[in-house]
């Protein structure tokens, strides 16, 4: 019996192409990636856009005159969608920490921060895991979680995409709200060490975290998306025992990919989905016997 491993490209395969750009998603799709993980925020005029950071990131963003931003840029929520389109996000700032992480990223000058509607329309057959970006430590930096969640659902419904979308967040108020409003929409529950330590804040009142899989299962699952650096093989077994799928992030080295697949994780979120496919795909170097891969991208 073969087991399907869901290979998901992180922010549209940002190890290869400019992150969270329509051009990057399409380039990754041309490599055979069929699903995407992305993050969403909201502009001042209520448009849902695909962007990881609540404020424009000087490692990624050039202004209207082509100059790199000096220090953190304006918040997404302070700009209209039209104003946001003045910024170029098509290459990494030379010498920046992000450029050092992804030296092989291919620039695509002129790329802009896209709307969620445009991404869903451009890739009508792709699957999407959409992180609703909300930070309970800094509520002033983003739209309220329920407002952003509702706006995201409206875009998804307008595109007829509910069946190919999963909603996730570190701020578990988002998933609880979506489940109340739209129990048909698939959910994933993001965790990292910080949010586990501060569970009362990030998980809206949960204090007892003796078992993370048990907490996710109690919320209804069906997907747990942990930081791969925190994950143990015992936790994978426990998660499967309570009916969860395990989708760790961000897994970028072949050694980690093969190790985690050997632990029976259900998928991998990676900045290099091309490497993941070559490592765990059937008949490829480093492949795990009895497994076959499925390309997906998480934006």
The number of angstroms, rounded, from the C-alpha of 46 to the middle of its chain's C-alpha atoms is: 21
What digits encode the pLDDT tens for the residues 244-263? 999 999 999 999 999 999 99
Using the CB atoms, write b or e for 188-215: b if 16+ within 10 Å: bbbbbeebbeebeebbeeeeeeeebbeb
- Please determine, for residue 2, whether its predicted confidence score (pLDDT) is greater than 70: no
Look at residue 56 in the predicted model and tell me its pLDDT: 97
- Give the CATH fold of the 3-280+291-298 domain: TIM Barrel (3.20.20)
What integer pLDDT is reported at residue 280 of this predicted model?
79
Residue 7 has pLDDT above 70, yes or no: yes
Residue 3 — pLDDT band, cuts 50, 70, 90?
A: confident
End-to-end CA distance of the chain: 30
The pLDDT value recorded for residue 281 is 61
User: Which distant-in-sequence residues (6+ apart) come within 8 Å of 204 by Cβ?
Assistant: 136, 171, 172, 173, 176
- Write down the domain spans for the chain: 3-280+291-298
Q: Which of 107, 121, 114 has its CA nearest to residue 76? A: 114
Which residues pair with residue 132 across a beta bridge?
A: 40
Segment 30-54, tens digit of pLDDT = 998 888 899 999 999 999 999 999 9
Task: Give the rounded percent of residues in the chain with a pLDDT score beyond 90.
Answer: 86
Q: What is the pLDDT of residue 64?
A: 80
Q: pLDDT value at position 282?
A: 52
Q: Give the per-residue pLDDT at 59.
A: 98
Crossing angle for the helix pair 233-241 and 212-219, nearest 10 degrees?
A: 30
The mean pLDDT value for 129-157 works out to 98
- For the segment 181-229, what is each residue's pLDDT rounded down to a tens digit? 999 999 999 999 999 999 999 999 999 999 999 999 999 999 999 999 9
Please work out, in degrees rounded to the nearest 5, the angle formed at the alpha carbon of residue 269 by the alpha carbons of 119 and 42.
Answer: 40
Do the Cβ atoms of 139 and 111 come closer than 8 Å? no
Percent of the chain with pLDDT over 70: 93
Dist. CA 37–CA 102, nearest whole Å:
18
Write out pLDDT tens, residues 96-108.
Answer: 999 999 999 999 9
Among 3-7, 39-43, 156-160, the least confident range = 3-7
The answer on pLDDT for 124 being more than 80 is: yes
Least confident of 76-80, 155-159, 183-187, 294-298: 294-298
Q: Does residue 297 register a pLDDT over 80?
A: no
Residue-wise pLDDT for 260-296, tens only, equals: 999 999 999 999 999 998 887 654 433 443 333 444 4
């Amino acid at each position: 019996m073969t087991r399907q491993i869901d290979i998901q490209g992180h922010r549209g395969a940002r190890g290869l192409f400019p992150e969270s750009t329509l051009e990057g998603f399409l380039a990754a799709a041309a490599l055979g990636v069929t699903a995407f993980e992305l993050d969403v925020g909201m502009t001042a005029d209520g448009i849902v856009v695909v962007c990881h950071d609540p404020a424009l990131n000087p490692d990624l963003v050039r202004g209207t005159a082509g100059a790199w931003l000096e220090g953190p840029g304006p918040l997404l929520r302070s700009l209209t969608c039209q104003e946001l389109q003045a910024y170029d996000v098509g290459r990494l700032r030379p010498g920046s920490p992000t450029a050092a992480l992804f030296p092989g990223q291919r620039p695509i000058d002129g790329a802009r921060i896209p709307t969620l509607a445009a991404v869903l329309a451009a890739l009508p057959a792709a699957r999407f895991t959409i992180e609703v970006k909300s930070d309970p430590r800094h509520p002033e930096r983003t739209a309220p979680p329920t407002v952003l969640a509702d706006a995201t659902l409206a875009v998804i419904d307008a595109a007829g995409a509910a069946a190919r979308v999963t909603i996730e967040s570190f701020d578990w108020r988002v998933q609880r709200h979506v489940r109340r409003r739209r129990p048909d929409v698939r959910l994933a529950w993001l965790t990292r060490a910080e949010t586990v330590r501060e569970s009362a804040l990030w998980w809206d009142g949960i204090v007892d975290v003796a078992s993370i899989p048990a907490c996710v299962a109690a919320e209804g699952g069906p997907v747990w998306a942990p930081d791969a650096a925190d994950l143990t093989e015992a936790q994978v077994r426990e998660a499967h025992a309570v009916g969860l799928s395990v989708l760790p992030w961000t897994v970028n080295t072949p050694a980690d990919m093969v190790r985690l697949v050997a632990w029976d994780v259900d998928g991998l979120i990676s900045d290099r989905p091309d490497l993941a496919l070559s490592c765990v795909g059937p008949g490829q170097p480093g492949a795990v016997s009895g497994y076959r891969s499925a390309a997906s991208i998480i934006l």
